[in-house]
Amino acid sequence: MRDSSHSVHDRGAPELGGSGSAPAQGVAASRVVPPQGVAASRVVPPQGVAAASQVPAQGRGQVPAQVPAQGRARSRPVAGVAHRAAASDGGVPEGVIQGDLVLDGLASDTLRLDALRPDTLRLDGLAPEAAPIASGGGSPSPSRTFHRPVVTELRLSAFGVHRAAVLPLSPVTLLRGPSGSGKSTVLRAYEALARLGAGAGLGEVLPDAADLVPERARPDAQGRRGFRIGCTVDGPAGPVHLDVAVQAEPRLRIVGERLTSGGRTLLTTALRDPGRNTVQAEWHTAGSTPVTRAPLPDDLLGTALLPLRVAGKTKGQLEVLAAAEQVVVGLRSVFACDPRPAGMRAPVPVGEGRLRRDCRNLAEVLHRTANECPRRHARLAAMAGAGCAGPVTALGLREPEEGMVQAVLERGARLATPLGRLGEGELRYLALALVLLTGPGVLAVDPLAEVPEAMRTLTVLADGLDRGLDARQLRELLALAATICANGHMRLVGTLGEGRLGEPGAGWAPGVTVVDLGRDRS
């Protein structure tokens, strides 16, 4: 495991298009270990990208009416992309132009979510190609090619306690810090981006968005406040950067979005008329129609809608589609896990065996793994022996009544122990080990049917990873995570309490990165 002596760049948010302010203090991180087991390969064509009839631009000064979703010839869209079209309102009327929307989300800095002006639209405070990364690592270099789309960086500005923070993500990333340092908020931002990428509406994803704006943030002249969240997704198309600006007050909406790759802007959206439920979008495909403009809903992620709007016939269109699909696939492959021991103790009905977020159906999933994957089931039993009190010879199953199942720890010559009699730490330990040893086919995640399994990497989000665990259990879990995540099929982002793992070096699992959010925070 790398130490956490290197600092994450925590930039002050400058007035966009202007000079930067002094960086904020208080976020430190370790070097990022390059993903293990990820071989370089040539860029492969995007899988499952929907081809739609592109709306041709009617000249750069006009906005075409949106083609209704129904009746467009297209192939299968990326799974989870919303099939919802913006209102066919004919575009933005002449003379109704909202200039620079100002979201003053910080105490002393102004966040400008500029309209459709690539020269000044700087949602992350810096041009994408100039954005700094953590010392010694961060987002992989553009020369590295990943087989599977993976999120390698998160960016948060005026989101909770985070002020222009850039957080690099490795195969196993642990966020450590005291209460109030923003560990859970980072996972909240990741999951919000994931759900938006799956086509969920903003109100469903962030119903409490106003509570995420820092208390010190003052509104602009129109009473508006908001925040920015973004990420970098590496994959066959190279690093692709997504930045989203959210207005939280007085009305929740996405007011700006930018998708870039290789220094090139692929998509921008901006609020032009506050009276409409749409933003004005531009996607840049080069060729005979270099820019296409159309309105998109202000509560949906525009990047997730691109496969329904871009035909995919020219080289430029294929590049836009490949980047958009890479972001959607990388974000959607997420399982947020929060084991709740109180719900794991009683027998449960035998069902399809897909592990839920709170792991209350743990016994049901163990019933499935025992029958379908004895090797993994035996490996989990070995983990139980390493982390549970007393000898453990196997993970057994009982049926106290028809249609119900109960898991037990077999103790050899001793009486078996029902899981319901284990401590909370032991139950959480077993549940987290099961998550790491299984995958999308067992975890209750929305499957990406259009994307081959070999092209997907599942990211597990584990808030309070160390909650209730002793040092031995945490050490065993991290060793397992480092081994599992080294093959590239799974990644882990978890949070730890302050002081867990001690100082760098002593018994840390190799390949694990610790980001210390509490260091030097003023």
Q: How do beta strands 278-284 and 264-270 pair?
A: antiparallel
Name the strand (E) or helix (H) holding 404. strand 404-411
Classify residue 95 as left (phi > 0), alpha (psi -120 to 50) or beta.
Answer: left
User: How far is the first Cα of the chain from the last one, in angstroms, to the nearest whole number?
Assistant: 27
**Tokens 């979005």 map to which residue?**
257
Structure tokens at 462: 């584990």
181, HSE (Cβ side, Cα atoms, 13 Å): 22
Cα distances (angstroms) measured from residue 237 to each of 46, 264, 304, 430: 9, 13, 16, 37
Could you list the beta-strand ranges (E) of 95-213. 101-103, 111-113, 150-157, 165-168, 172-176
Residues 400-421, buried b or exposed e (16+ Cβ, 10 A)? Answer: eeeeebbbbbbeeeeebbbbee
For residue 488, the model assigns a pLDDT of 87
Residue 250: is the preceding peptide bond cis (ω within 30°)?
yes
Neighbours of 148 (CB within 10 A): 24
Residue 97 near residue 272 (C-beta atoms within 8 A): yes
User: By three-state DSSP, how is residue 185 classified?
Assistant: helix
Query: 192: Cβ–Cβ under 8 A, 6 or more apart, which residues?
Result: 205, 206, 229
Neighbours of 44 (CB within 10 A): 13
Amino acid at 408: V
Residue 235 near residue 250 (C-beta atoms within 8 A): no
User: By three-state DSSP, how is residue 432 classified?
Assistant: helix
For residue 220, the model assigns a pLDDT of 85
Report the DSSP beta bridge partners of residue 349. Answer: 404
**Tokens 């086919």 map to which residue?**
441
Amino acid at 459: T
Report the DSSP beta bridge partners of residue 172. Answer: 492, 512
Residues in the chain: 522
Report the DSSP beta bridge partners of residue 496. Answer: 176
Binned average pLDDT, 10 residues per bin, the chain of 522 residues = 42 31 37 34 35 36 35 36 33 29 32 33 32 33 64 96 93 92 95 95 95 89 92 95 96 96 94 93 86 94 93 89 94 92 93 90 92 91 94 93 93 92 96 90 65 76 94 93 91 88 58 80 44
Angle at 137 between CA 131 and CA 139, to 5 degrees: 50
d(CA 269, CA 299) in angstroms, rounded, equals 12
Cα distances (angstroms) measured from residue 328 to each of 51, 261, 302, 402: 15, 14, 11, 42
d(CA 439, CA 445) in angstroms, rounded, equals 9
For residue 446, the model assigns a pLDDT of 62
Residue 247 near residue 226 (C-beta atoms within 8 A): yes
d(CA 504, CA 176) in angstroms, rounded, equals 13
d(CA 327, CA 80) in angstroms, rounded, equals 13
For residue 351, the model assigns a pLDDT of 87
